[in-house]
Amino acid sequence: MLNADLHCHSSVSDGTLTPEEVAERAHRNGVQLWALTDHDEIGGQARARAAAASQGMGYLTGTEISVTFIQHTVHIVGLGFDAEDPAMVEGLAHTRGGRERRARDMAAGLERVGIQGAFEGALKFVGNPDLISRTHFARYLVEAGHCADTHEVFRRFLTDGKPGYVEHRWASLADAVRWITGAGGIAVIAHPGRYDFTPNEEFALFTEFKALGGQGVEVVTGSHTPAEYLKYADMAQEFDLLASRGSDFHDPAESHTDLGTLPDLPRQLKPVWEALEHRVHQP
Ligand code: AMP
Ligand code: MN
Ligand code: MN
Ligand code: MN
């Protein structure tokens, strides 16, 4: 099967490698079709596409949109859209817009438990000032000696109910799917196994997503266990969704799954890239 890696991050969002470095690493690991999917941001797309071409890899445009659905944060990956589409460009800019305010509120929450200077500290790790994320705070708290690794920071400080967590309203599911499909791309539910939905809520997400014109779901991702590959393979068939595969790579040390190293999609599924052949930028 084609080695496609259609979910990963660069320093244009919360990854640590530049788009060129991610492209090189993907190619070195055997990736044949690649998409860079920075959070709420397409500012790295032209560089990623050029880097893919110089490595001899096929390229699909990508992004990972933050969405609020029934008071939960859900991520929707967009693939193969026109990166110049005005509604997409405008919608993502609006989605990014609240991040600085949120980061200041996160820092205030951390200060209340004795952690000083977290806003400035996180900024040192930010590659794109429009895209300050919890990951940058996590890296700073590790550097400052508050925790041993970023996973511990999330667990103790940055998840719901913890001192550095701030409720935030992201894009609606309807808007995110519309921006992607309106720009000629395919919308994909990212890592469904990561959300803490009840079975009914999860069913509502898939049903609503389908009704809005969403067409894909990540089955094999660095965020899923092998048991979840099977569960979401079944869900893909039940909802007649195309299947995607992506590492969700952020950093060589932090990410447990490297680019291009996941198992193949289960054979019975329809790979999302087969529906996007006309959108692939060939090297
Ligand atoms: P944000 O968009 O600012 O809320 O940040 C979300 C990002 O934080 C995700 O894309 C992951 O990269 C990272 N993240 C979320 N939860 C965890 C976790 N438990 N451990 C490590 N990283 C996490
Ligand atoms: Mn991330
Ligand atoms: Mn995600
Ligand atoms: Mn991601």
For 162, residues 6+ apart whose C-beta sits below 8 A from its C-beta are 155, 156
The letter for the amino acid at 149 is: D
Ligand 4 centroid to Cα of residue 135, in Å, is: 11
Q: What atom of ligand 1 comes closest to residue 250's alpha carbon?
A: 12
Q: So what's the pLDDT on residue 181?
A: 98
State the Cα angle at 274 between 272 and 276, rounded to 5°: 75
Distance of CA 136 from the midpoint of ligand 1 (Å): 9
Integer CA distances (angstroms), 32 to 10, 53, 235, 247, 266, in order: 18, 11, 26, 14, 18
What is the residue-level pLDDT of the chain in tens, covering all 283 positions?
999 999 999 999 999 999 999 999 999 999 999 999 999 999 999 999 999 999 999 999 999 999 999 999 999 999 999 999 999 999 999 999 999 999 999 999 999 999 999 999 999 999 999 999 999 999 999 999 999 999 999 999 999 999 999 999 999 999 999 999 999 999 999 999 999 999 999 999 999 999 999 999 999 999 999 999 999 999 999 999 999 999 999 999 998 899 999 999 999 999 999 999 999 999 9
Does the pTM surpass 0.95? The reply is: yes
Is residue 244 classed as helix, strand or coil in its secondary structure?
strand
Q: Is 41 in the pocket of ligand 1 (CB under 6 A)?
A: no
Q: 207: CA distance to ligand 1 center in Å?
A: 25
Question: Which of 154, 156, 251 gets mutated to test ligand 1 (max ligand atoms within 8 A of its CB)?
Answer: 154
Q: How many residues does the chain have?
A: 283
Distances in whole angstroms, Cα of residue 107 to Cα of each of 45, 72, 78, 138: 30, 22, 31, 12
The Å distance, Cα 194 to ligand 1 centre, comes to: 11
Which atom of ligand 1 is least distant from the CA of 134? Answer: 3
